[in-house]
Amino acid sequence: MPTRDVAAEFDQISVVYDETRDPLDPATVDGVAEALRHAGASSVLEVGVGTGRVARPLTDRRIDVTGVDASRGMLAKARAKGLVRLVRGSGYRLPFGESAFDATLFVHVLHVLEDPERALREASRVSRVGTFALVHPRANDGREEDRREDGPRQLVRKILREQGYPIPPRASPRAKERDLLARLPPDALTVLSERDVTESVRDRIDHLAKRGHRNLLAVPPEALQKAVALAREQVGDRTVTYHRVEALATWNPRRWADPASSAPA
Q: Which domains does the chain have, with CATH numbers?
A: 4-256 (3.40.50.150)
Whether this model's pTM surpasses 0.75: yes
Q: Give the pLDDT score at 257.
A: 65
pLDDT of residue 243: 85
> Which residue stretches of the chain have pLDDT < 70?
1-4, 139-150, 257-265
Q: What is the pLDDT of residue 150?
A: 55
pLDDT number for residue 141: 53
- pLDDT, tens only, 239-257: 888 888 899 999 998 877 6
Q: Distance (Å, rounded) from C-alpha 258 to C-alpha 25?
A: 37
- Give tens-digit pLDDT for 104-152: 999 989 988 989 999 999 999 999 999 999 998 876 655 444 444 457 8
